[in-house]
Amino acid sequence: MKSFWRFFGLGAWRGVRAFGKLLLIVAPVYTLVTALKYTPVLAAFAQFMAPFMRFFRLPGEAAMALILGNFINIYASLGAITALKISGSQLTVLSLMILISHSQILETAVFFQIRAKWWLLWFVRLVVSLLAGAGLAVLIVRNNSGGGGNVDFSLLRQEFVPGPALQGWALGLFNTGVKMLLVLVGIFILLELARGYGVLEKVLAAVKRIIGFMGYNEAAAMPWLAGNVFGIVFGAGLIVESVKEGGLTPKQVTLVAQFLALCHGLFEDTAIFIVLGANLFWIVVPRIVLAVIVTWILNRCLKDNQGLTEVKESR
């Protein structure tokens, strides 16, 4: 029983420590992203992107959903998506693109926190999103119909009212922080218990062949699993701790970050678009396959003593 509470306490402490490090980057970036909603930046960029939507067989107004998803988050894009008059196949294409590339500002900042080459991950993520969208559109969208006409992109800009705006920012940041803290502490407690009672070895054995194909070592397995289930922020929490313990080399950090950049939050994020009517197969399988291929290529390009990161312990 004493061992249980020792593992529990150690896991809780590591979770709180990881939360503290991530909050230092999440809080200011969350503030920046919130401020963007009150500027003309999003509307201008969406208007610029609208003509290019034809390459994905989507109406011009679909650009609003893509911009909101990439600049803010998946939830911000939902309002724009539900307002679109598009077919199920078009919805699937749009969903796949957003799932591959979303929350770019916040999640790129997280990559920066773990010392990954954030600009490379951002670029690959965006390019893969566009190529996947164009390719899937050719496969499943029969025609180019589904909208057009005059689109009021000014709707992307919200009016700044100090009281409600500050209240919304504070409440949103608080909710995000609480979720981060609870999930990270929970993950680390389970991880320590799994280590202490020998469960971790069984989990690692189950995914050994998969992660070995992509060039991961055993220390990379848990951040990889956490990121796939819970998302980039929580996977990064494990990466930070693994680096601190010396279990992840710069190359390993890069490989884990690259996979998670393209495929993460497989349950929660996917469920959101399934509810809207997107096709489960086409928004899950391509993400996994593309993430495996890109990570495998990156592993082949990097030597064991090289990486695209400079991992240093934060002081």
Q: By C-alpha distance, which of 126, 283, 306, 109 is closest to 215? A: 306
Exposure of 55 in the CB half-sphere (CA atoms within 13 A): 13
Q: Which two tokens stand for residue 215?
A: 């060039």
- Region label for 182, one of left (φ > 0), alpha (ψ between -120 and 50) or beta (otherwise): alpha
Residue 218 confidence (pLDDT): 75
Give me the pLDDT at residue 195, please: 75
Domain range annotation of the chain: 2-301
CA 129/CA 267 separation, integer angstroms: 19
Token pair 């699937």 in the structure block, residue: 92
What would the pLDDT profile of 279-314 be if each residue is shown by its tens digit? 999 999 999 999 999 999 988 887 665 554 444 443
pLDDT value at position 147? 47
pLDDT at 97: 97
Q: Which CA distances in Å does 228 have to 234, 267, 270, 312?
A: 10, 8, 11, 24
pLDDT at residue number 144: 58
Statement: the pTM of the whole predicted model exceeds 0.85:
no
Q: What is the pLDDT of residue 311?
A: 40
Instruction: Tell me the two tokens of residue 261.
Output: 């950049």
Residue 96 contacts residue 175 (beta carbons within 8 Å): no
- Annotate 235-252 with b (16+ C-beta within 10 A) or e (fewer): bbbbbbbbbbeebbbbbb
Q: Give pLDDT < 70 ranges for the chain.
A: 1-2, 144-151, 155, 200, 243-244, 246-247, 303-315
Q: Mention every residue, 6+ apart, whose C-beta is less than 8 A from residue 110.
A: 22, 25, 26, 232, 233, 236
